[in-house]
Amino acid sequence: MLLEQTASSETSKGKSNFGFRMGRLPEILLVILMAVILSDLMAGTVSRYLGRHAFSWTEELGTFCYLWLTFVGSAVGVMKGTHFVIPVFVERMPPVPRYIMQMVGCMAMAIFSMMLILSGFKIVMVSTVAVSQTLEIPMTVPFASLPVGGALMLVCSILLMGKTTRSFRQKRRNRPNR
């Protein structure tokens, strides 16, 4: 949420912002994946009920797209700051403990993302010779969603940490002295 608000405010001022451009890439990919899944489900349903034979590839394509949708969607969740947050609890905290909690959440997500990248990369390397049964595409294509999604989550976590720190510092500067 913080990253999205800051990115939109800086972009509206005409500044080029890496965080904003980075934020749009996963969202555009999600829209494309949803369109592919919807088309795939429609093709499978139409072929099943109107044609003589159901398309055999629709279920496999849908499964692979759902894999990508899950991990890219997780990156969007990180970008919007929706992971590891209990808003009622965090919003009632004083500024310094709130900042610490937000940073701990971002760091935990970054560590999880690194683990996802490493384990996903291992899975991709093991699956280099495997081919899907129906579509006959390398299994590295669906399994690549793990390290790619992990990398997107890591970048979003780092960007969110930077935005959180800048916001915290700005609020402390603007706070009246007692």
> pLDDT tens, 13-50?
444 566 566 668 888 999 999 999 999 999 999 988 88
The pair of structure tokens assigned to 117 is 């990248």
| Lowest-confidence region among 76-85, 112-121, 148-157 | 76-85
Provide the angle, in degrees to the nearest 10, between the axes of the packed helices 18-49 and 58-79: 160
- In this structure, are residues 57 and 135 in contact, taking their beta carbons and an 8 Å threshold? yes
In angstroms, the CA 113 to CA 156 distance is 10
pLDDT of amino acid 82 = 76
pTM: 0.79
pLDDT of amino acid 7 = 44
Nearest to 99 by CA among 114, 81, 73, 113: 81
pLDDT band at 3 (very low <50, low <70, confident <90, very high): very low
